[in-house]
Structure 1
Amino acid sequence: MDAYSSSNDARLFLAAIPDAATAARIHQLAGVLKGAHRFSGKPIEPERLHVSLFFLSGLPQQEIREACAAAADVRIKPFEVSFDRTASFRGKRGSRPFVLVGDKGLQPLTSFRRMLGDAMLRRGLRWVTNTNFTPHVTLLYDARSVEEYPIEPISWTVNEFVLIQSLSGHDYLARWPLEARAVA
């Protein structure tokens, strides 16, 4: 099996992930908000919390390799992200994502995703790089939905991004540290 292959049932995507301490804080917040909003959905486990950047599921192996090569091309210093609200997104009936969102504190993440998308475009992966992007961290899924609500900001420094294969858990297939490296 190729290093970047996935079964037909697995999802494959690039993501930014919180550090372990921040993931634990987010998970704890999800538990508190679950009770406050009378949600019945189970909070996402800390090791599964992430911000999806680009989905690669269903791509041929060569295109997955090109996407990973594009990921390796990105040069940027670590940056801070900050989520300051919760909201329910539309989703499948009975399974709406309840998420962390923000505005100004997510501009560096949006810029990073644009850079990563540009690197993929240079490698001919136009269909992977759709421009629709609402940075969020899914806390849980529930039949109920709630309006957007402010929270004490949750922030972390994005030091890397990862290739995740998701089936019964999250397997990190590749990691790319963020650092401003000199281009040879």
Structure 2
Amino acid sequence: MSLFPELDGPPSDRLFFGIFPEPAVAETIAGRARDLRGQLGLSGAPLTPDRLHVTLHHIGDYSGLPRGIVAQALEAGAAIAQTAAAFGVTFDKAASFNNRGNNPFVLQGGEGLADLHGFQKALGLAMARAGLGKQVAKQFNPHVTLLYDRSLAPETPVAPVSWTVSEVVLIHSLLGQTRHIVLGRWPLKA
């Protein structure tokens, strides 16, 4: 076994911090995705409700699971949970990101995401203190990916979708397998 599994072959494993809507909200979001898909003439398959999330920090893609980086991420997650309080988010528009043919169609928001921006920055500071400074996202455009499509859809207002973010999650995603494995879950202060 290599000391540096992230350097051995093509990436098979992704690590990221994210937030997930509670199941009832995820079902609402999935319903909006189906409705918007029809209204806007998109053909991509909507993501299943259990896969709907907001990525806060993409830690990296690796060939194998890098235990040292996982340990640092677990440390950062535990640290943020000691100080951060639960907060609300509201998404009120949808649009496509241009990704040259595999275009994510996403929920976005405006002022209803101010606290999310602050939380994402605080998590980045906790990551840096845990030794993951290079993995901290320099830019953050919070969104929930609804589906992928060849077509680009214009920005479209949607009925607001809101939830209270009460935990942050460290996810191990198996690339190409549509599987998320929770490595850490930290409740935020009420």
1:3-29 deviation digits (Å, cap 9, x = unpaired): xx9994132211000000000000011
CA positional deviation for 1:161: 1.1
Structure 1: stretches of 5+ with no match in the other structure: none
- Partner amino acid, structure 2, of 1:68: L
> Are residue 153 (structure 1) and residue 160 (structure 2) matched?
yes
- Partner amino acid, structure 2, of 1:72: A
Larger deviation: 53-62 or 34-43? 53-62
> Are residue 16 (structure 1) and residue 14 (structure 2) matched?
no
CA positional deviation for 1:149: 1.2
Over the aligned positions, Cα root-mean-square deviation in angstroms equals 1.8
Q: Is contact 1:47-1:170 (8 Å) kept?
A: no
- Partner amino acid, structure 1, of 2:44: G
Q: Is contact 1:56-1:64 (8 Å) kept?
A: no
> Are residue 174 (structure 1) and residue 180 (structure 2) matched?
no
Secondary structure at 2:157 match in 1? strand
Equivalent residues in 2 for 1:67-78, closer than 5 Å: 67-74=73-80, 75-78=83-86
Equivalent residues in 2 for 1:1-184, closer than 5 Å: 8-57=11-60, 58=62, 60-74=66-80, 75-91=83-99, 93-167=100-174, 168=177, 169-179=179-189
Q: Is contact 2:15-2:173 (8 Å) kept?
A: yes
CA positional deviation for 1:64: 2.2
TM-score w.r.t. the length of structure 2 is: 0.86
CA positional deviation for 1:130: 2.5
Structure 2: stretches of 5+ with no match in the other structure: none
The share of aligned pairs that are identical, in percent, is 45
Give the distance between the partners of 1:10 and 1:103, measured in 2 at CA. Answer: 32
Secondary structure at 1:82 match in 2? strand
Q: Is contact 1:17-1:49 (8 Å) kept?
A: yes
Instruction: Report the count of equivalent residues.
Output: 175
CA positional deviation for 1:60: 3.7
TM-score w.r.t. the length of structure 1 is: 0.89
CA positional deviation for 1:166: 1.9
